[in-house]
A and B are shown apart, each in its own frame.
Chain A
Amino acid sequence: MTNSIKDRTAIVGIGQTPFAKNLDGSEKRLACEAIVAALDDAGIDASEVDALASYTMEVTEEVEIAKNIGAGDVTYFSQIGYGGGAGCATIGHLAMAVATGQAEVGVAWRSRKRGSGGRPWANTVAQLPTPAQWTRPWGLLRPSDEIALLTRRYMHEYGATRDHLANVALACRAHANRNPGAMMFERTLTRDQYMSARWISEPLCLFDNCLETDGALACVIVSAERARDCRQPPVYIHSFGQGLPSQHHTMVNYWSDDPLGAPARACARRLWAGADFGPAEVKVAQIYDAFTSLIPLSLEGYGFCERGEGGPFTDDGAIELGGRLPVNTSGGGLSEAYVHGFNLINEGVRQMRGTSTAQVEGADTCLVTAGEGVPTSAMLLRK
């Protein structure tokens, strides 16, 4: 595979704003602050940036970023769709651009005022056109409702329980309680609190749902050669995949032949095909967690266990620090911040640098995934 992107690029800078329910400043300003912080971390001047990638849901366009940070001539720019499914693809597209010589310094970012800026599902004008005509009129209004239907079916088919979902919520919270930057740093969570929490969309309770956060994050990607001269130790992008499975229906996959066949499965085939190691060699994972039930689905989809075994996989502290596969070591979307999963990317980088607040001893490989239940993306990082 001489054309492979394997280890040919690296993340050399990460940056972020604080995370809060309500931050001052526009999404544009927060984006610029996170990007400049990431460039400072890398020791690269903004004038060298020549590639940009973000989400189609990002409100700040490339031209705005470029003229605010004082980028040079930008020769590659890319936006990826499907909400949180875009996360790792922003990095992957830049890795491909840099590896193929289309650009030299790439910046990926996500800035979002989801905490103070309103709930997308409440915008009924944007909600109603196809395919929402097949869901919204009956009161299936929110992402939480859509995933609740899949979660109920998953529990029915495989015997997963609320205790399994609680394992996910409690693992993320325990990790957030070690991370001073996490929104839930000072808020502990017990199994009793989880079990008695109010419902949002049964079988999902409050603690099965991610946070609502204002914040922004960014990463800097350069070639492996250039990375050796940067301020921080390089974190190599070992493999990258995207997945839009056959006959997939984003978020409302009840209409496909295999509704519980997660997009992770399609993405994982490409991801592992490009890698020198497999799931058993992954030391730590940052798995997209807009909802707790996405974690067992992703554990199955990325091959850490068989189909239907994702619930029991989470038992006995397996996904907590010290367990078989620590997951979401900064607290994830459930307890650090929900910025469409970009905080999972920065935490993956910190694990490879050895600087996480829940550092996994000897971690030299990390899986990072993007939104599950939508066309998605994932990557493997290594030291």
Chain B
Amino acid sequence: MSDGILLPVVDEDGAPFWEGTRLGELRMQRCSECARFRFPPRPMCPWCRSTASEWPALSGRGIVWSFAVSHPPLLPAYAELAPYNTVVVALDEDPSLRLVGNLIAAAGAPINSVDPATIEIGEPIQVVFDRVSDDIVLPRWTRP
């Protein structure tokens, strides 16, 4: 990956997610009381008000819920790769869990490695993990 890409500023709420990706797992926050998933992570369950939560690893399978294709003007590190796609992925375990990511040709491939004209809403995709710094591993997505 190019230098200059934006890295997440990890906070207390999101830290377990990023711990998971470092280990090659897609972990999502689930309420320990009512067992509902929630995203983005936050201290309180909005459905039962419990502050107890756990972070199970999910299958990493989902479908393309939507996608966009970004063109300049963009930050320099991204402009170099434009046009590139961003996707919203609906996860199989709970389709109301939707993550932003990129659809790439294979693990480690750049974010412009899939022809945007071939992307379809509803197509199944699978998580892969891309180490972008010493501490940060981003989930991205490939076709199975």
Contact = CB atoms under 8 A, between A and B. Distances in A.
B67 interface: yes
A204 B69 CA distance: 9
B40 interface: yes
A196 interface: no
Nearest to A206: B71
A232 interface: no
Interface string B65-95: 1111111011100100101101010000000
A202 B138 contact: no
B9 interface: yes
B68 A149 contact: yes
Given A137-B5, A254-B98, A202 B116 contact: yes
A356 interface: no
Interface in A100-137: 119, 122, 124, 127-137
Interface in B54-69: 65-69
Contact of B96 (A129, A152, A257): A257
| A interface, over-half SS | mixed
Interface residues of A, number: 40
Contacts of B138: 137-138
B9 A130 contact: yes
Contact of B86 (A130, A131, A138): A138
A114 B136 CA distance: 33
B69 A199 contact: yes
Contact of B84 (A119, A134, A139, A150): A139
Interface stretch (A50-58, A86-94, A140-148): A140-148
Interface of A: 119, 122, 124, 127-142, 145, 148-150, 152-153, 156, 198-204, 247, 249, 252, 254-255, 257, 259
